[in-house]
Structure formats: structure tokens, C-alpha cells
Structure 1
Amino acid sequence: MEEQPISAQPDSQAPPTEEGQHMDHLTVVADASESSNGVVPVQSSPTASRPKPGSRSGSVAGGSPRPSLCRQPSTSPDAVQDGSKPRDYLLLAILSCFCPLWPINIVALTFSVMSRNSLQQGNVDGARRLGRNAMILSVVSILGGIAIITATIVFNWGLILKS
């Protein structure tokens, strides 16, 4: 079936009804080259613009080039890429709690515990993501703590040497 544009103009040559009045209806124009006066081409496939039932927008279904934006837990054991469970970096997060960068190291400890809980629930991808966040925040906290401790020592030794 070829694409046919639809015109929104009433057809004045419509057959009269029983009362002798003309009915207004849409006229299908067979000329595909006409594009004036609001003529719009009709899609020939009825399912081309409708999503499949049960599909979510943004998911990789039907050849969509855009990956899903929602985070879904992976419950299958073969979802682990390297064959081992993801690390939660709990020891590193506890070690970072001894550094003076207290808001960051507490968040790192929280992410580490959340990573461990996600792994126990079977959410391997979430555990890997939270563990990576815990590691990054722990390293930032330790390096920031070392910088603060070094700056404090240098400042105090400068004051002692001046006096």
C-alpha cells in the first residue's frame, strides 16, 4: 500500500445524507507530491510509531540505539565479568575514618556497607558500582587527610622555629 497524505479540508462533493445535507469528512489525496495547506503523509505501517506492549521507553528493544537509563539489578551469577565477586573496600573505608576529612570518609564507609548489602541481595552491578565509589572516596579521604596532617605539621614547625 502506498503512502497517501490526508487533507483536513472538507469535501464539498460528498453524497448527501437522507436529510439532503452534505457531511464533512476528510479527503484522501492520492498525489504524494502535494505539500501545501497542511497535507501530511500517512504512515503505511500501523505499528511503526506505537511501542510494543510492556516495553519501557529508553530500553534496548526493537533495535533502539539508546541504552536503558534505568538501573536494574543483575540476579544471574554469570553477570560477573571477571569471575570473582566485586570488592566492597570495607577495610580501606575503615582506615580512611582515621583521617581528618570526616564527611568524606563517613560517606565512603556508607558506600562500602551498601556495596556489601547489594552483593548479598544478588545485585552484582550495584555492588560493583557502590564499591568503586567507596574506593574513590576512601582514597580521596586518605590523601586529603595526609595533606591536612602535613600542612598542620609544617605550619606548627614554622611557628616553633620562628620563636
Structure 2
Amino acid sequence: MEASRVNIPSYLALSIFNMLCCCLPLGIAALVFSVQVKNATHIGDVNQASKSSRTARLLNIIGIVVGAITLIILIVIFAVVLKKK
């Protein structure tokens, strides 16, 4: 199978969103793997592109979950603090 015909998602936009809005460390790691997908696809290494794509997706999912949980915890803490005043 030719590398130019393979459509392996890089999750680049999701990685940037994750880095800016959810969880910076995991977003940066996901961004690195997203770029690796583009590079591996460009040189025709489909196996490496697939591995990097799965890793980028996993890091993005974990980053979004961690970001959401952190946001919920912060909202609860602020609600408790404001209720005491």
C-alpha cells in the first residue's frame, strides 16, 4: 500500500486544543506524536505512523479527561469556599 494513499489521522488539531485548554503536559506529548504521524506518513513508514497516531489519540483522551476532572474539582472547591463566605 502506498503511503500517499494511507489516511492515518494525526489528531493535530485535537492535540493543540488539548495543549491550550485541557492539560498542557499531555497536550505537548500528544502534539509531538501528532507531528511524528505527519513525518512518518511523509516518508512512507505506515507502521510508525499508525503507532504514533494511536499514542496521540490516547494522550488526547487522557488529557481531556484529566482537564475535565480538574475543572470539576476546581468548581466544587470554589463553590464550597464561596458558600462559607
After TM superposition, the score normalised by the length of structure 1 is: 0.48
| Structure 1: tracts of 5 or more residues without a match | 1-75
Would you say the 8 A contact 1:99–1:141 is kept in 2? no
Would you say the 8 A contact 1:118–1:127 is kept in 2? yes
The equivalent position to 1:120 in structure 2, one of 33, 39, 42, is: 42
Once the two structures are superposed, the pairs formed by residues 1-163 of structure 1 within 5 Å of their partners are 76-77=1-2, 84-163=6-85
Would you say the 8 A contact 2:34–2:56 is kept in 1? yes
| Structure 1: distance between partners of 2:54 and 2:35 | 12
Structure with bigger helix share is 2
Deviations 1:71-116 (A, max 9, x none): xxxxx52x8xxx7421111111111012342211100000001111
| Structure 2: distance between partners of 1:123 and 1:86 | 11
What amino acid is the match of 1:87?
A: P
Q: How many residues align?
A: 84
| Structure 2: tracts of 5 or more residues without a match | none
| Structure 1: distance between partners of 2:58 and 2:28 | 13
Structure having the higher Rg: 1
Greater RCO, CA 8 A, separation 6+: 2
Structure 1 residue ranges (4+ consecutive) displaced by more than 4 angstroms after TM superposition: none
Deviations 1:45-94 (A, max 9, x none): xxxxxxxxxxxxxxxxxxxxxxxxxxxxxxx52x8xxx742111111111
What amino acid is the match of 1:137?
A: L
After TM superposition, the score normalised by the length of structure 2 is: 0.89
